[in-house]
Amino acid sequence: MTGKRKSPLRLYIAILLLSVTFLIAAVSLFWTPYRLDDTSGGRLEGPSAAHLFGTDKLGRDLASFVMVGTRIAYTVGFSATLIAAVFGILIGILVAWLPQWADNAGASFLDTLIAFPTLLLAMLIGATQGRSMWTAIISIGIACSSVIARLTRILVKQVMSKWFFISAKTSGTGNTAITFIHILPNIWQVLSVNIAVMFGVSILAEAGLSYLGLGVPPPNASLGRLMQNAQSTVVSAPLGAIVPGLVIIAIVTGVNLLADAIRDSYGVSGGNAP
C-alpha cells in the first residue's frame, strides 16, 4: 500500500521535471537567446536580463549552451536507450533459446560484459572510433545492451518454466510465435522499468564521456563538456558548472522517479537493472 500511495507523487514530480527539461530541449531546435559562436557578451559576466545564467570565459551566453546541451542529452539518451533495448532484448531472447551448453556460455559472456562499468566500456569503444555524437550514442547503447540482454535472458528463462509456455511448446507452436505471444507480453513490464533506468544511465554516461573529452565534440554543447569547461572558473563563475549539473540531475531524477512509478503501477519488484 505504501508504494501505491507514493506512486502518484513520484509520477507528478517525474512529469514536471521531464516536461520542463524536454520543453527546453525542444525550444532549442528553433530558438536560443544567442548563437553558440556569439562572443559579444563580456567575459564571465554574472546573471542578467541579457544573459540569464551569465557568460563563459569567451563571452558566450551560457543559457544558449545549456539549452542545446539539454537537447543533446535527450538525443543521446533516447538513441542509446533504443539501441540498448533492441539489441539487448534480441540477444537475451536468442541466448535463452539456445541449447543448455550454449545458453550457459552466453550467460557467462554477458556476466563478463556487465563486470565492466558502463562508462568504462563506452570509453573503450568511443576511444577506438573517434569523437562524434553518433560514436557516443553507439558506444553507450552497446555498453548498456549487455545489461538489458542479461535481464531479458533471466526473464525468458522464468517464462519458459511456466505451464502456458510448456503447453504451447508441446502443441507444436513455433518459437517465433511463442516469443511474441507468450514471452514478450510476460516480460515487458519488468523490462520497461529497467529500460527507463537505462535512459538515465545513458545520459550520465554521455555527460561523463564529454567531461573526459571522449563524448560529443565541439561545437556541440554537451552538458558534461560545459561542466568541464567551467571547472577552471568555478569560483568566479559557479553557474557555468552548477546549471548544467542541475539539468542532468533533473533529467535523471525524473527518469528514475518515472521508473519507480511504472514499477509501482505494474506491481513488479525491483526497479533497477541488475
Q: In this structure, is the dihedral angle defined by the CA atoms of residues 171, 175, 181 and 187, taken in order, positive or negative?
A: positive
Quick check: 83 and 142 in contact, CB under 8 A?
yes
Block means of pLDDT (10 residues each) for the chain, length 274 residues? 57 93 94 87 82 86 92 94 94 88 81 71 70 83 89 90 82 82 87 91 88 77 88 83 93 92 69 40
pTM equals 0.85
Closest CA to 36 of 225, 215, 210, 238: 225
Backbone phi, then psi, for 201, in 5-degree steps? Answer: -60, -40
Sign of CA pseudo-dihedral 156, 118, 85, 185: positive
Cell of 57: 570565459
Give the pLDDT of residue 271: 41
pLDDT digits over 224-257, tens only? Answer: 889 988 888 888 888 888 999 999 999 999 999 9
C-alpha cell at 177: 510465435
Burial per residue of 162-185, b for 16 or more beta-carbon CB atoms within 10 angstroms, e otherwise: eeebeebeeeeeeeeebbeebbbe
* Angle subtended at Cα 72 by Cα 70 and Cα 75, rounded to the nearest 5 degrees: 115
d(CA 266, CA 23) in angstroms, rounded, equals 28
The pLDDT of residue 7 is 55
- Is the previous residue joined to 117 through a cis bond, with omega within 30 degrees of 0? no
- Give residues with Cβ within 8 angstroms of 196, minimum separation 6: 255, 256, 258, 259, 262
pLDDT, tens digit, for every residue of 176-217? 888 888 888 888 888 988 999 999 999 998 888 888 877 777
Rounded to 5°, the CA angle 60-62-68 comes to 105
Angle at 13 between CA 8 and CA 16, to 5 degrees: 125
What pLDDT, on a 0 to 100 scale, did the predictor assign at position 11? 86
Given this model, what pLDDT does residue 272 score?
42
- The gap from C-alpha 256 to its chain's centroid, in whole angstroms, comes to 10
